[in-house]
Structure 1
Amino acid sequence: MQVDEKNKNDDLIDTSGQDKMIQGSAWMTAGSILSRILGALYIIPWRILFGEALFLQANALYVQGYNVYSLFLIISIAGIPSAIAKQVAHYNALNEYGVGIRLYKRGLLLSVVTGIVCALILYIGAPLLDGHNENVIPIMHSLAWAVLVIPTMSLTRGYFQGYQDMAPSAISQFAEQLIRVIYMLLSAFLILKVFHGSWIDAVAQSTFAAFIGALAGLAILGLYYFKRKKYYDSLVANSNNKVKVNTNQLYKEIISQAVPFIVLASGITIFQLIDQYTFFKIMHLATNYSDAHLNALYTIFAGNANKLIMITISLASAMAITVVPLLSEAYTRNDNEAIKKQISNGLVLFMFVMLPASLGMAAVAGPLNRVFYGTSQAALSANVLAFSSIIGISFGLFTVIAAMMQGISQNKRAVKFFVVGTIAKALTQFPFVFFFGIFGPLLSSAFGFIVANYLIVRSLDRQFGIEYKFISDKINRILVYSIATYMVALIVVHLGNKLVGLFMNQYSSVGSFIVVMLSAIIGGYVYILLSLKNRLADDIIGNKMDSLRRILRIK
């Protein structure tokens, strides 16, 4: 009888953990995906505002500024938000909510300092970082303001995530992107069309929009914080108050947790930097292409394709953020069984979303590329985007399982495995680029992440015993349904091109957009239908799918 009661309690714990993960994933996925979509869609009206003659120049200037800005942003944030989320969840699990509050306040001071320092370095050092292009200097100056604010905003998001409260993060993330896009389009319209000003000033204001968006996101978080303040105060009042942590120890905990997050959070960026500094040199040895042609090739795989596949990779990022505090709680309780179940559930949930999304993007790569970037080198661009979509699965998987390692306080081991993967990437970079050209950097990146992923999964399995039977059964079904979705989407693209061609140019931006929407809707419906009809969605997400099944009238 006691054993039965224990099993019931275990089931309740596991179900609660899974529900938290799914609810958190839903919020973070929605916020991340909507933000990514907005961050990609702006390119269409932005391109129209600048016109074909100026768009490439403006976009090149925009990307050059953002590459440097991204590096400073990673340094200024320093992994502190995720570290705070993990440590707050740790102390909350011990009923030491007061320590979590103190941790947040000390982290807030640290984030303000790092934001100011990095913003000043970027602003003052812009002439040294412009790459001999003076037009980049005002772009960096405008982006320095965002570096000032975003660390504080990101830290506050991490604090909410430590309570498994993902709604504030998701809503603020969407608000940040929405306001940013509105400002950049409105400012570009006023400067270029109303006042007929400089296109460089228009780009500078478009990048300054990151600061405006950050202020909006921070304001949303502030409203949520004050709305929940009484609740947090009650938790502190009822804490055990047995753990005493001095200020220096709090800073030590933040920094010790943050440093590995810097390396792992910038994993994709590090791989892209390897491409940036080696692609041109290797291609000059392998071909007689001009610098202009190599710039075009680099833009196709490192700029255009990367921007679109990050929409699907952001799904993985959203789930990774959710997994960290949950695993931290289980690790604090020394509950290995819960850790094993959460790792298994996390991997399956990742594949449930990532596989159909990646294959779906590969299926519509042709028209999707034309929607955003026009018809220049359309065939090559479509092939690179399709290939990048598949490669992106390994990128996203690394994001998830690296976060899992961090959630169980194995940061150094995760960093070590990433370093091995980076070495694998570096060793294969020359032969892959030399023989496969534009596809070479993507192949070497996939190889590097596959190596790192293998090492991390092997380590997790040895420690906790991953439920491979549970995972393989679910992933096999996901793969079958995803391939079916891919085939349907390909057919719809083919038929959609012919249908749209009866009324307009199917290769125009509007015609291609219609084809993409038809393929996405029909392909997405097929995947949902198969997942609901065969109860796969129920097995992964739970009985909450019954309401969706009733709406779609699926038995």
Structure 2
Amino acid sequence: MHVNAISCIGIFNLCVKIVEREETKINIYINTESWNILMINQKKKDSFIKQAGILAMAGIICRIIGILYRSPLTGIIGDEGNGYYSVAYNIYTIILLVSSYSIPSAISKVIAQKLAMKEYRNAQRIFYCSIIYVVVVGGLASLFTYFGAGILVQSNSIGVLKVFAPTIFISGLLGVLRGYFQAHRTMVPTSISQIIEQIMNAVISILAAYLLMQTVADSDSTTIAIYGATGSAIGTGTGVLIAFIFMLLVYLVNRKIIHKRLEIDTHSTVAPYSEIIISLLLTVTPFILSTFIYNSTTSLNQTIYSKILINLKGMDEVSVTTQYGIFAGKSVVIANIPIAIASAISSAVIPSIAGSYIQGDLTDTNRKVDKATKTTMMIAIPAAVGLAALSIPIVRLLFPQKESMYQAAGLLCVLSITVVFYSLSTLSNAVLQGIGKVNIPVINAFVSLLIQTAFLVIILLTTNMNLYGLAVASIIYSLLMCIFNGISIRKSLGYKQNMRKCYFIPLLSSLIMGAVAGLIYMGLYTLIKSNAISLFVAILFGAILYFILMIKLRGITKNEIEGLPKGALIIRVFKKLRIL
């Protein structure tokens, strides 16, 4: 705990230094009447890719931390405890989606539009109204979760869900602060806060789960599992609380800069708060509906799965929950790691696209969509192939419980396909929201949800696929979202994807990479019998081979590499290796 506290303080000091350095830049931009707060890369027209890279790296770090702590946590609370946690967490997620999850994206879009028009005072008023919104809505959602836990989840997960209740309220406030800084096209505060949140989540989850389980060590296994799941929920809430405190401190450090921005705003029209609140509701509501439907598949599918297997197939609750814990607590957790990159790019692309679109620059808007799509697919496709090719060693490393290892690996292999589809549909959702077509993702998500639900019910009733039926339903849903959103973007912007560079070259390079990485792993594991070393070497050589193939097949250019985080360094390394 002491080491983590020192690390968090060091990270905070780093962020303060960044802010102080930006204040100097801001004073310069005030004199030229071209001022934007906390713009880390003002000179770069496409800085949103670098900002997305910063957020993506933070997302990957968070997912890795999540994976690393889930392994010992699962060892402590078991698959049964993991199942109770997953059931409560899914309901918590749904309520969070409705109350505040979409706040960062919605706020960043609205404020970014005002900043593009240099309406700085109106942007600040939107920020204040957003706080009022989440206090009211988040507070009501927290109360509903706590007092309604008994009707929302099965008996063994009630206590776990109640622990999640206050986290919903704090998450709303945290989301407003993150959205505020994202609107100014800096992802640094958000990225740091996410890492801090995940570190605290990991430490407290393991510690609280262990201590709570010790208090009921003489009880039956189910009671012990429930207490372990409750401890994990406490860790989630603690992480959110510490992240909120950090973001609040960053905002307070920037108060002087914020006031300077308001002073230079000479815009004659200042919107009344009543008008802003109405506008905010009209903007946030479609975001919420879209995000809710888009992400509710997990909870809906879990409910359908449990009801059919328990009520119609006669399986007991403990068995069904334990099996679901393998699916949601292991396979899905691993598959979600690369999807974090798409989420990061989506968060960065919304304010950037919103700014270009509101100024009527369709050429720039399409260029940003194209660049974001290429970047996302360049990472998502090899990640999906890699997860499929190395599913067994990955699960063996992260979740070594022998009784469920091969089942989790098989599910991961199937779910790897969704990495591409979910990444692309997440990005396309953000594009449609950024250009103001906020209702279209709602409709697309709803239609996709209806179709996948019908398939899932049929699969569960007529086959014994069970967990694999859930995996197939995820593939169907994410694929449909890609198709529907792609059609909508083409109609709205006239955007046509470069199929060769976006999909064919990355896929070809990835398939070769996957085959080579798989052979390297098997050869090394046969020789040295070390799963971790064999997997690490296979991934390293696979990644190098992939980038070589992408460059040789002209799937990525020197200019595109320069646009990536640390692009200049990557180019220098590639030149020394004579790859470029």
Query: Aligning the two structures, in what range does the TM-score lie when normalised by the shorter sequence?
Result: 0.7 to 0.9
What residue in structure 2 maps to residue 526 of structure 1?
545
Aligned to 1:389: 416
Counterpart CA distance in 1 for 2:437 and 2:353 is 12
CA deviation string 1:388-426 (max 9, x = no partner): 011232122111101110000001122112222122213
Contact 2:67–2:334 (Cα < 8 Å) also in 1:
yes
**Deviation, structure 1 residue 305:** 1.3
Q: Which residue of 2 aligns with 1:508?
A: none
Question: In structure 2, what is the Cα distance between the partners aligned to 1:450 and 1:303?
Answer: 23
User: CA deviation digits over 1:261-320, x for unaligned, max 9?
Assistant: 122223453222332233356668998877766555544434421111111111111111
Q: Is the 8 A contact 1:331 1:339 kept in 2?
A: yes
Q: Which residue of 2 aligns with 1:12?
A: none
Counterpart of 1:464? 493
Aligned to 2:163: 142
Aligned to 1:217: 243
Task: Please list, as runs of the form range in 1=range in 2, the aligned pairs for 1:182-221 lying within 5 A after superposition.
Answer: 182-191=203-212, 199=224, 200-221=226-247
What's the counterpart of residue 447 of structure 1? 476
Letter in 2 for 1:43: R
Hey, what does 2:519 align to over in structure 1? 491
Q: Over aligned residue pairs, what C-alpha RMSD do you find?
A: 2.8
| 8 Å Cα contact 2:206/2:231 also seen in 1 | no
CA contact (8 A) 2:83 2:323 kept: no
Separation of aligned partners in 1, 2:310 and 2:164? 33
- In the other structure, the counterpart of 1:319 is 345
- Structure 1's 317 and 78: CA in aligned 2 closer, same or farther, altered over 3 A? closer
Contact 1:146/1:208 (8 A) holds in 2? no
Greater Cα shift, 246-255 or 418-427: 418-427
Displacement, 1:541? 3.6
Query: Are the aligned partners of 2:107 and 2:176 in contact in 1 as well (CA < 8 Å)?
Result: yes
Structure 2 letter corresponding to 1:312? P
Whole-angstrom distance in 1 between the partners of 2:215 and 2:131: 41
Q: Give the AA of the match of 2:573.
A: I
Aligned positions of 1:506-521 closer than 5 A: 511-521=530-540
Does residue 428 of the first structure (1) align with residue 449 of the second (2)? no
Within-5 A mapping of 1:230-269: 230-269=256-295
Alpha-carbon shift at residue 334 of structure 1 (Å): 0.8
* Cα separation, 2, equivalents of 1:324 and 1:460: 14
- CA distance in structure 2 between the aligned counterparts of 1:140 and 1:441, rounded to whole angstroms: 23
CA distance in 1: counterparts of 2:291 and 2:489, whole angstroms = 19
Query: Match for residue 567 of structure 2?
Result: 545
2:210/2:231 contact within 8 Å kept? no
- Please tell me whether residue 278 in structure 1 is matched to residue 298 in structure 2: no
Contact 2:377–2:502 (Cα < 8 Å) also in 1: no
Please say if 1:75 is aligned against 2:133: no
Matches within 5 A, 1:30-69: 30-48=57-75, 50=76, 55-69=78-92
Deviations 1:367-401 (A, max 9, x none): 22223332224333322111101123212211110
The answer to whether structure 1 residue 160 and structure 2 residue 187 are counterparts is no
Cα distance in 2 for partners of 1:357, 1:527 equals 11
Q: How far does the alpha carbon of each residue in 1:45-80 deviate from its partner, in whole angstroms, 9 at most, with x for none? A: 2234x2xxx512322222232122212222220522
When residues 58 and 195 of structure 1 are mapped into structure 2, their CA distance, relative to the original with a 3 A threshold, is: closer
Letter in 1 for 2:497: Y
Count of residues in Structure 1 that have an aligned counterpart in Structure 2: 525
Amino acid of the structure 2 residue aligned with 1:403: A
Tell whether the 8 Å contact from 1:532 to 1:554 is kept in structure 2 after alignment. no
Which stretch has the larger CA shift, 34-43 or 231-240?
231-240
The alignment partner of 2:271 has SS state of coil
**TM score, norm. by length of structure 2:** 0.83
In structure 2, C-alpha distance between the alignment counterparts of 1:403 and 1:17, rounded to whole Å: 22
Question: What code does the residue aligned with 1:323 have?
Answer: V
Deviation readout 1:195-240 (Å, 9 max, x if unpaired): 9698444432321122221122112212322333322222222224
Partner SS, residue 376 of structure 1: helix
User: Is the CA contact (8 Å cut-off) linking 1:300 and 1:384 kept in structure 2?
Assistant: no
- Tell me which amino acid in the other structure corresponds to 1:338: D
1:409 is paired with a residue whose SS is: coil
Structure 2 portions without partners, runs of 5+ = 1-41
